[in-house]
Chains A and B, each alone.
Chain A
Amino acid sequence: MLFAALDWHQLFFALFALITCVFALAVLFTSNVVRMAFYLVISLGATSGLFFLAGAEFVGAMQLMIYVGGTLVLLIFGVMLTAQSRFVSMKTSAGDWVVAAGVGGCLLALLALVAFRVPAWSEPNADVANVALAESKTSTQIGLALSGIRVDKLDQPNEVLRSGMSGYLLPFVIVSVHLLVVLIGAAYMARTKIRADRIDG
């Protein structure tokens, strides 16, 4: 059987990686801003597929909900609010493309070289079958870590170090306040301004 012989994990990884990269490049090479937004949706959706394949199912779901469902809808609203015909398709000059392609090509070559040069990163996990399925469910552990309890680091023998790993409660509070500030700030900046002369007159 051909289907039984296929490695589905590998096949889906190749599929999602291909969709992610191709549509990211499509975002770069199209000059139409509406199409850019659509390609970005597909690219980020396929990225969440990569997250699921790496066993981070909670982050994959959040990627779909917050990124694809929230941030990109916001971006598309921005595109719609500014989509006058002369701004929909703005061409980049050829000189800019040449410089950007040179810099980007060098950067990509460097990053790819580094990624494959470290031996520990390019050898596959030998006992992937022994990773327990129960161990892979991370949603509860993530929730507990955000409320200050690291259930995955209980085996730290040093008492002092263990109390230092008190989870992500402080970053969680900071990021919550940050979101509140962002909400107020964005609403303040994007509000309709009443012109001063209209008040005077």
Chain B
Amino acid sequence: MNLMLFGTVTVAQYMLVGAVLFVTGVVCMATKRNALGVLMGIELVLNGANINFIAFGSKYLRPESLGLDGPLIALFVIVLAAGEAAVALAIALNFYNNHTTIDVDRADDLKG
């Protein structure tokens, strides 16, 4: 176990940062009442995943790494996150225009 501040950087330390971002994003998605806050939680989760991809693809951190696959998948995640943000924002703005609120707890039209 290498939690020391002034040891060499390891994959596990990157994964710890990624885990913090992931958990923060999940809790953000669960607790925020503003639809845009939920979106920000999604961005945090995607970034936590990206940190893991980069750490496993890095030649500096581990001799037998994923190689180029790590950065390439991270690039695809970034592009998909951009597309997801655009569509989700359009949905949120539509919801705001139709219901004059951005509170996700009020989005209960489909309750039946």
Contact = CB atoms under 8 A, between A and B. Distances in A.
B107 interface: no
B54 A74 contact: no
Given A54-B55, A54-B61, A128-B60, A37 B40 contact: yes
Interface string A141-161: 110011000101100000000
A178 B10 contact: no
Interface in B1-30: 1-3, 5-17, 19-28, 30
A115 B1 contact: no
Contacts of A146: 72
A19 B11 CA distance: 18
Contacts of A152: 67-68
A36 to B, nearest CB: 6
Interface string A178-190: 1100110110011
How many B residues touch the partner, as a band? 35 or more
Contacts, number: 257
Interface of A: 7, 9-11, 13-14, 17, 20-21, 24-25, 27-28, 33, 36-37, 40, 43-44, 47, 50-51, 53-56, 58-59, 62-63, 66-67, 70-72, 74-75, 77-79, 81-82, 87, 90-92, 96-97, 99-101, 103-104, 107-108, 111-112, 115-116, 118, 120-128, 131, 135-136, 138, 141-142, 145-146, 150, 152-153, 168, 171, 175, 178-179, 182-183, 185-186, 189-190, 193
